[in-house]
Amino acid sequence: MFQIILILLIGFLGGTDLVKEVALEFHELDGQKSELAFTEQYKNNTDPAIKAYVIAIQMKQIEYLYNPIKQMNLFSDYKKKLSSLAEMNKGNIHVRYIRLLIQEQTPEFLGYKSDIPADKAFLSVMLNSKDETDYLDKYIIESTSL
């Protein structure tokens, strides 16, 4: 029994370290090439936080396309994926941060602004609490309207 608990604990902590690593890497990306490499590296990861970062980069990649219809279709698909991920992981600070970040940077005509108040309220509470995600606080403050 002790071995099972130890294995689960190691797996949980390892996942947390990877999420932190991905979050920090996300904020260091500097162009299409590094963004594509990031997406390729993490696209099959099942952690909701990592999925959110991948979706954010996939959404950013839309700017490199020239076809506006394809841009709109891809944006709609990724928006649905991110919204669904956020609904299934309401307490995940990374997912809520990414959704807020995307919504605040999205033009008004795309109609992706409805969750901003809820995400800001959630993240405000998280910013005022001491936890293992405090490394994310500076990015939330720098990158969003909080």
Q: Is the pLDDT of residue 135 over 70?
A: yes
Confidence of residue 16 (pLDDT cuts 50, 70, 90): confident
CA 96 – CA 27 distance, rounded (Å) = 16
For residue 136, the 8-state DSSP code is: G
Alpha-carbon distance of 5 to 12, in angstroms, equals 10
Q: What is the mean pLDDT of the chain?
A: 91
Q: Which residues contact 9 (CB under 8 A, 6 or more apart)?
A: none
| 37: enclosing H helix or E strand | helix 32-42
pLDDT band at 6 (very low <50, low <70, confident <90, very high): very low
Q: At what angle do helices 48-61 and 32-42 cross, to 10 degrees?
A: 150
Give the position of tokens 């993490």: 42
Q: State how many domains the chain has.
A: 1
pLDDT at 8 over 80: no
Q: What would the pLDDT profile of 109-131 be if each residue is shown by its tens digit?
A: 999 999 999 999 999 999 999 99
In whole angstroms, give the CA distance from residue 61 to residue 35. 8
- List the domain range (segments joined by +) for residue 8: 2-143
pTM: 0.88
| 7, pLDDT greater than 70 | no
Confidence of residue 42 (pLDDT cuts 50, 70, 90): very high
Residues in contact with 104: Cβ distance below 8 Å, sequence separation at least 6, in sequence order: 116, 144, 145
